[in-house]
Amino acid sequence: MSSLLMLNSEPCQRHQLPDGELFYYPQWVSDPPSLFEHLQQTIPWRQDWISLYGKRHPLPRLTAWYGDPGAAYTYSGIAMAPQPWTPTLARLKAALESVAGVPFNSVLLNYYRHGRDSMGWHSDDEPELGPNPVIASLSLGGSRRFVLRHKSKPQLAKLDLTLASGSLLIMAAATQHHWQHRVPKTTKPVAPRINLTFRCIHRQSPENFTD
């Protein structure tokens, strides 16, 4: 993937939310299909299980966790030790740090195989992520809806985005403290999707949950 080119000079779309801020780059990666295929074939995807009301259920997506040594990750009873950065992920991290203006030390990869795979409502607001964490979300493959809702002001309209292949969404300011987001299921035919969310963990035994 040495020819991978990041279009980080492309003008972004800014979404100024009440109590939050988003920056969306519709086509940040120049060759999304090649990067998608590379990650799909080389990442050791894992199927995890979660316990709900005393019953075990498969997580509705496949995952992988990469990061600096010691950047462990645990959510819903699932412990994930970081795998070492691959050359491709390390290049993406460096490029994203340049765009976002903050350091990242870990990335969660989610593989949505079909429309039944999803991510429920949540915020990336754990203390381990520090005050006003910046989350950089890179999408590859099939387009999926990405919905945000305010935690304490239900009267505010939801923000409903469609994250295209090769797009970059940066969630900044106090977004994680005041807004939740999800990737809902869909009955429409959709192509497989890979999402990478880069963040910085400030403590080495985090309890995190993100898209």
- Which residues sit in the known binding site for substrate? 73-75, 125
Q: Which helix (H) or strand (E) holds 175?
A: helix 175-178
Binding residues: 73-75, 110, 112, 122, 125, 181, 193, 197, 199
CA distance 179 to 9: 28
Q: How many CA atoms lie within 13 A of 69 on its CB side?
A: 0
Residues contributing to the annotated binding site for 2-oxoglutarate: 110, 112, 122, 181, 193, 197, 199
What residue type is assigned to position 158 of the chain? K
Three-class SS state of 3: coil
In degrees rounded to 5, what are phi and psi of residue 158? -70, 150
147 in Cβ contact with 158 (< 8 Å):
yes
